[in-house]
């Protein structure tokens, strides 16, 4: 988790607690980049400090496991200043956390900060609803959005790598 990533791309997923949504995103994206054979450093963090050092929520672990992905070894941490230098992409799970990330962003950071669902057609600008106070169905709904978006992201990045375009140009901006 520490040290400077030696990869071309480094992606950090960020939610509030780093125990539900961003650990699922980290796990789903790890599986997607393996399928697409992309070289990428991957981690996740929270904007809040509540759960530092904790494993993911048991419901997140169970939901990922039901889809063949193990996330139980992850350890929650809070986003820190150097993440803005270490990561090429900082991906927020919802707009509140996007705002939290941007509020911490140093002026000299070149990281692309964006919403995860900006990668998923029809869901741009939207957040993945927080399942923490919900039930198993809410975790499944979050998983489904996260796995579709991380697959779209990996597929797009694999295409860009093969076309030797810069992944820093994506996703395409609407302005």
User: Per-residue string for binding with ligand 4NP, 95-134, x by CB under 6 A?
Assistant: -----------------------------------x-x--
CA distance 146 to 110: 25
77 is catalytic: no
Q: Which backbone phi and psi does 113 adopt, to 5 degrees?
A: -110, 125
104 is catalytic: no
Q: Which is nearer to ligand 4NP, 21 or 77 (CB)?
A: 21
Annotated catalytic residue within 15, 20, 77, 86: 15
Residue 10 lies near ligand 4NP (rule: CB under 6 A): no
Annotated catalytic residue within 57, 83, 94, 130: 130
Residue from 9, 10, 17, 71 binding ligand 4NP (CB under 6 A): 17
Q: Which residue has the tokens 């494993």?
A: 55
Starting at the edge strand found earlier in the chain, the sheet holding 9-15 runs 40-46, 9-15, 89-92, 112-115
- Could you tell me which stretch among 12-20, 25-33, 63-71, 102-110 binds ligand 4NP (CB under 6 A)? 12-20
Measured over the CA atoms of residue 157, residue 99, residue 93 and residue 55, the dihedral's sign is positive
Contact by Cβ (8 Å): 20, 56: yes
21 is catalytic: yes
Residue closest to 111 by CA, chosen among 11, 34, 17, 13: 11
Residues that contact ligand 4NP, how many (by CB under 6 A): 10
- Residues acting as catalytic residues: 15, 21, 130
């Amino acid at each position: 988790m520490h040290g400077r990533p030696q990869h071309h791309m480094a992606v950090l997923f960020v939610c509030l607690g780093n125990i539900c949504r961003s650990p699922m995103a980290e796990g789903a994206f790890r599986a997607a980049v393996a399928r697409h054979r992309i070289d990428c450093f991957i981690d996740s963090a929270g904007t809040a400090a509540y759960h530092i050092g904790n494993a993911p929520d048991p419901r997140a672990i169970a939901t990922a496991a039901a889809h063949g992905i193990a996330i139980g070894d992850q350890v929650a941490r809070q986003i820190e200043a150097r993440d803005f230098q270490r990561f090429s992409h900082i991906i927020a799970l919802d707009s509140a956390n996007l705002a939290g990330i941007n509020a911490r962003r140093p002026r000299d950071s070149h990281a692309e900060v964006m919403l995860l669902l900006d990668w998923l057609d029809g869901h741009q600008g939207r957040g993945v609803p927080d399942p923490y106070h919900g039930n198993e169905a809410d975790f499944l709904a979050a998983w489904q959005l996260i796995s579709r978006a991380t697959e779209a992201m990996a597929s797009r990045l694999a295409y860009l790598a093969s076309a030797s375009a810069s992944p820093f140009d994506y996703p395409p901006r609407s302005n």
